[in-house]
Chain A
């Protein structure tokens, strides 16, 4: 049997996107109730490691994806923006839960009514809090977007 040819052809973009979606490391940005469900998603029962995402980096310098898990108060918003700015490009944001997406049930003086006022958001996850399955669906949606080049942040 003849040996297969010793090279593959691909565009740089598709290879870069392939590697990006297969190891999109998250920055730990747990804020409230959703952070507990984010922990559950990362733990053994739901096992985010299947998607190359078991590593949550404490340093934003090593993270590609920020999962905003919980309600963002007016006091926290500048911190959130700073963490986002410290992440290297390309970077993505998932807004987890009703509070992060729209302020949720708390339409009052204290909360930012949607984290998209502070950082650009790629995927919104509904729920209060969203279960691990919802978060995983959002992560897979994001992966599809990164793979196809739909979500570009460069």
Chain B
């Protein structure tokens, strides 16, 4: 495995000419005395045109490439649009309705959107590269900050991939705790979505109600993990700590509190003619287009495709709990809304089953090479002290190999691809994130719709820009 990886690296590395003596001097001046960048530096680091070209200059290839895909939408090439007077409008990256720092360039014909070009990268954090400098035990600290609305899912995905490479089994209690936390996290993520979806469509009070219920969940997360977000709780080998005393009462409180909130939301939104008018038939996408763009999760299920990784590729023993996969029909904003609302109910159903069947036992594996010893043992045993020291300084070594692990995140298929060369740090970490795929479907969903609908569409795919750019 080691040899294979090394040769691959050498083969793919592009030849980079060493700078000449003059160029070296120019670089030195640039850094040392702050002179202007020489033209060749600008040319060699240019990223090409960032702006959307006017229609009379944009070729078919430019237009097709704007969505970041080669799937060409015929609607973008209508002749009458080419002749009409159009305006190019820049939206974002600092815009309240783009859910972070998404930037869109829109070509407008009056109030109608003809072309859309998403521009991403404003939150690029280099997390995949940072992941190569952290040990497998430190890895969840990094990935939990990617999709910051679904921190437990990111941690779980990374931990499952690591455990698959290690080849270790977990005690049932650890798996049950993982299911409990990830399903609660799905609810908290969807609550943020329903809050922002309502707010973007003008129901500002929805924001306050969504956050109100979310505080219930965050209080439980804080009690269990010590943090409201970015928990670093699920780690390779189990979870960081056992559930706190009295966790059952907290979960019962959540199971009672959230459905009350959900019925409020139905009163506010589902029975609201303005909300229905702004969501039904808006932002339609077909299941074929979803397949072409790699869209998963609620947007795919809203088109009627029964695809949920919890059912098709179960993980962490989630197959032992009963739940339904809610489906839509039309693939519009309203169907995505109903699917997510029902998913919260189903997640709570899983949580109530976990509450009844929570097994006793260890909350992490007893493998001494992976799990640090209990604090008390460090005072008693030299071996325990050495294990503790090694795990937290050097980290545990993971056998060479590669593994792709996918789980059903709140936004769709969340996948982590890990390559290990037998060291304590991953050789490569790649993340397949659902928001990234969803963003490139915006040209399809927003094409030929009104500009006000674009806000509903963006909110309905629930993008997290940390997940897109990472």
Contact = CB atoms under 8 A, between A and B. Distances in A.
A106 B132 CA distance: 12
B129 interface: yes
24 contacts: A30-B100, A32-B100, A32-B145, A32-B466, A33-B229, A33-B466, A37-B228, A37-B229, A39-B207, A40-B211, A43-B207, A44-B211, A45-B212, A56-B96, A73-B123, A75-B122, A76-B101, A79-B94, A105-B141, A105-B142, A105-B145, A108-B130, A109-B126, A128-B230
Given A33-B148, A36-B149, A106-B126, A58 B95 contact: yes
Interface string A104-116: 0110111100000
Contacts of A83: 94
B211 A76 contact: no
B122 A79 contact: yes
A29 interface: yes
Complex A-B, nearest 3 residue pairs according to Cβ-Cβ distance, in ascending order:
A110-B126, A43-B211, A33-B148
A36 B144 CA distance: 14
A90 to B, nearest CB: 21
Please report whether the interface of chain A is mostly helix, strand, loop or mixed according to DSSP. Answer: loop
Nearest to A131: B228
Interface string A96-135: 0000000001101111000000000000000011010000
Contacts of A128: 230
A53 interface: no
B126 A111 contact: yes
A108 B129 contact: yes
B435 to A, nearest CB: 13
A24 interface: no
Contacts of A146: none
Interface of B: 93-96, 100-101, 121-127, 129-130, 141-142, 145, 148-149, 192, 207-208, 211-212, 214-215, 218, 228-230, 465-466, 469
Interface centre among B94, B121, B126, by most chain A C-beta atoms within 10 angstroms, is B94
B122 A106 contact: no
A43 B123 contact: no
Nearest to B138: A105
Chain A interface extent, by class? 20 to 34
B148 A32 contact: yes
Contacts of A106: 125-127, 130
B129 A109 contact: yes
A32 B215 CA distance: 18
Contacts of B93: 76, 79
B100 A31 contact: yes
B96 A28 contact: yes
A71 interface: yes
A129 B127 CA distance: 17
A41 B141 CA distance: 24
Residue of B121, B148, B214 with most chain A CB atoms under a 10 A cut-off? B148
Given A30-B100, A36-B149, A44 B208 contact: yes
B145 A40 contact: no
Contacts of B466: 32-33
Contact of B211 (A39, A73, A105): A39
Interface in A55-89: 56, 58, 70-71, 73, 75-76, 79, 83
A124 to B, nearest CB: 18
A35 interface: yes
A33 B148 CA distance: 5
B468 to A, nearest CB: 11
Nearest to B103: A79
B58 to A, nearest CB: 23
Contact of A43 (B100, B121, B142, B208): B208
Contacts of B95: 58
Given A33-B229, A105-B130, A106-B127, 10 more contacts: A32-B123, A32-B465, A33-B145, A36-B148, A37-B228, A73-B125, A73-B469, A75-B121, A75-B122, A76-B122
